[in-house]
Amino acid sequence: MTVTRFAPSPTGYLHVGNLRTALFNWLIARKAGGEFILRLDDTDPERSKQEYADGIQEDLEWLGLTWDRVETQSSRLDRYVAAADELRAKARFYEAWETPTELDLKRKKLLNMGKPPVYDRAALALSEEEKTALRAERGDGVWRFKLDHARIAWADGILGDISIDAASVSDPVLIRADGQFLYTLASVVDDTEMGITHVVRGSDHVTNTATQIQIMAALGAGHPDFAHHSLLTGPQGEALSKRLGTLALRDLRAAGIEPMALLSLMARLGSSDPIALRSTHQELIDGFDLSKFGAAPTKFDVEDLKPLTARHLASLPLADMASDIAALGVPAELAEPFWSVVRENIDTRADMAAWWALFRDGPAQPIIADEDRAFVEQAFSMLPDAPYDAQTWSQWTADVKAATGRKGKGLFMPLRLAVTGQQRGPEMADVMALLQTRPTV
């Protein structure tokens, strides 16, 4: 069975970069009828917060990206201890005590010599007496995985055939000096024991993947099918890393972006298929093809979500909007004509409130040009009291035309501005039929 996972750290709120990873893995699982696991990488007790864990689940629920089960890495520490013991027994794990300053000096020296800044494995040459002395002086060291200096190759689902020389990579630290297990080891153990078959993540993890493949092999396991999607950039190609905090999913939700607009964009962005608004999750699943995604950096512009949101809202039937409309106080008998009128004239659900306020109370700010004031006042004196119907606008403007001689834009635009306070919008016949009170100027 196909099993995928999304493994965010509950150290912050989800942003669009996280969503891309979550969505791809969710789509793969759902298309194959498999299992999708939400796995919280909460091994850092200082930075992991329950509010972020709750926020991650709220964001995924808002998007409809349901999971089959939740796992927490903090509840699996015994499994990581066992894996570490196995690696020690196989002589693939060693303790090292270099300080950050010492490591930085080593890197600079190698770079000045034109060599890759790879850890020199000095800790492997330490005698037991030297280790005891360092432990007494500096406390526990970090634990590094000893890479086999051979080429690590895999067929990547997006990047194609990948081959990395392990000699060009530093032996990765898997356990910090304070005993905290790092992502590299925890992920390997979890992916193996949970039967993960496919892993999609950002291209910045390619080197991690290489080392994890070797760690899995050292623990006697095979590896999932890996795929690395491109990283997102801003609309001008700039790095998004410094802006991701402003692209949190909770902020997009607060701004009125619709889930299907966001999912439709992210399910195609960076692929050879054009962006297409979808109305259901099943349409997203049916149209997803990982092989159509490329390796080039992918431009993301939050402004692209706004027209998609407006188009999505315009496509919704009344049944999908009934509760939102009722919450505004719109009488049940007006719900259908109200939605029919405003659906093509809103950018977000929140925009409906201003339309109902207009229909209920009249415009907050009528627009009347000085040169049109006398004309508008005369026209409004000819307008009967509410209620109105679909013929009110045509009858009223016909009477005004006959009385004033105005016609065309000179007749209709001043009246639209005075009635609605807006230059454009729904057909005025429909607007008049929804007015609950006689507009005044």
Residue 188: pLDDT band with limits 50, 70, 90: very high
CA 37, CA 60: separation in Å to the nearest integer? 12
Query: Per-residue pLDDT averaged across 388-395, rounded?
Result: 96
CA 215, CA 183: separation in Å to the nearest integer? 12
What percent of the chain is predicted at pLDDT more than 70? 99
**Which helix or strand (DSSP H or E) is residue 276 part of?**
none
Dihedrals φ, ψ of 180, to 5°?
Answer: -75, 130
CA nearest 352: which of 381, 316, 403? 316
pLDDT the model gives residue 25: 98
SS3 197: coil
DSSP 111-151: HHTT-------GGGG--HHHHHHHHHHH-S-EEEE---SSE
- What contacts 161, CB < 8 A, 6 or more positions away? 153, 154, 155
What does the block give as tokens for 272? 């050879």
Read off the pLDDT of residues 214-273 as tens digits, 9 standing for 90 and up.
999 999 999 999 999 999 998 888 877 655 556 899 999 999 999 999 999 999 999 999
**Which residue do the tokens 């800044």 mark?**
117
Query: Per-residue pLDDT averaged across 408-437, rounded?
Result: 95
Query: Per-residue pLDDT averaged across 7-36, rounded?
Result: 96
**Which helix or strand (DSSP H or E) is residue 429 part of?**
helix 428-434
CA 342, CA 324: separation in Å to the nearest integer? 13
Read off the pLDDT of residues 69-106 as tens digits, 9 standing for 90 and up.
999 999 999 999 999 999 999 999 999 999 999 999 99
Q: What is the largest CA-CA distance in the chain?
A: 108
Instruction: Match domain 71-185 to its CATH number in 1.25.40.20, 3.90.800.10, 3.40.1280.10, 3.40.50.11900.
Output: 3.90.800.10
Read off the pLDDT of residues 301-346 as tens digits, 9 standing for 90 and up.
999 999 999 999 999 999 999 999 999 999 999 999 999 999 999 9
Query: Per-residue pLDDT averaged across 279-286, rounded?
Result: 97
- As a whole number of Å, the end-to-end CA separation of the chain is 69
CA 322, CA 169: separation in Å to the nearest integer? 58
Q: Is the pLDDT of residue 208 over 70?
A: yes
Q: Other CB atoms closer than 10 Å to residue 284's CB: what's the count? A: 23
Q: Is the pLDDT of residue 441 over 90?
A: no
**Which helix or strand (DSSP H or E) is residue 238 part of?**
none
CA 57, CA 66: separation in Å to the nearest integer? 9
CA nearest 139: which of 85, 95, 183, 87? 95
Read off the pLDDT of residues 100-151 as tens digits, 9 standing for 90 and up.
999 999 999 999 999 999 999 999 999 999 999 999 999 999 999 999 999 9
Q: Which CATH architecture has domain 362-441?
A: Orthogonal Bundle (1.10)
User: For the chain, what are the domain ranges?
Assistant: 71-185, 234-313, 316-351, 362-441
pLDDT the model gives residue 431: 96
pLDDT the model gives residue 236: 86
- Considering just the CA atoms, what is the radius of gyration of the chain in Å? 31
Mean pLDDT, all residues of the chain: 95
Query: Per-residue pLDDT averaged across 179-196, rounded?
Result: 97
CA nearest 131: which of 83, 98, 170, 90? 98
Instruction: Match domain 234-313 to its CATH number in 1.10.1160.10, 1.10.10.10, 3.40.50.620, 1.10.3720.10.
Output: 1.10.1160.10
